[in-house]
Amino acid sequence: MTLKEAQETVDKWINTTGVRYFNELTNLALLMEEVGELARIIARRYGEQSEKDSDKTKNLNDEIADVLFVLLCLANQTGVDLTEAFTQNLEKKSLRDAQRHINNLKLYPPDTRQEIKG
């Protein structure tokens, strides 16, 4: 599914099953809530916090999809074409960061930094 198809699918779902879009501020608050749920799983499953029994049943895929769904809603209701926006954003990053990460020694394993630097 392309980004355009995802936006169209969400729009169709909202206008049938969902009745209507929540307003932009409500959707922004929902996005923060969904990102928080995702952050909780990541922090406990991959970070240093211990995972509670109630967290172990949480589905990472589902939480990421929840974030994407709300982002698609926000894009639709504010007139953002995500295909175009993402393409432009990636071009910007590619120009701006062409050498930035390659030259960041912190991204390389400690035992190879001298070889790269040298």
Q: Quick one: average pLDDT of 24-45?
A: 97
- Position 99 scores a pLDDT of 85
- Position 56 scores a pLDDT of 86
| Of 114 and 57, more confident | 57
Residues 6+ apart with CB under 8 A from 10: 69, 72, 73, 76
C-alpha span between 93 and 43 (Å, rounded): 27
| Of 54 and 114, more confident | 54
3-12, 17-26, 38-47, 101-110: the lowest-pLDDT one: 101-110
Q: Quick one: average pLDDT of 92-117?
A: 84
Task: Name the pLDDT band for 37 (thresholds 50, 70, 90).
Answer: very high
The structural domains of the chain, ordered by start, are 1-80 (1.10.287.1080), 84-118 (no CATH)
- Position 118 scores a pLDDT of 61
Q: CA end-to-end span of the chain, whole Å? A: 45
At 63, which amino acid appears? E
Sequence-distant contacts of 64-70: CB under 8 A, at least 24 apart? 64/38, 66/34, 66/37, 66/38, 67/31, 67/34, 67/35, 67/38, 68/6, 69/10, 70/27, 70/30, 70/31, 70/34
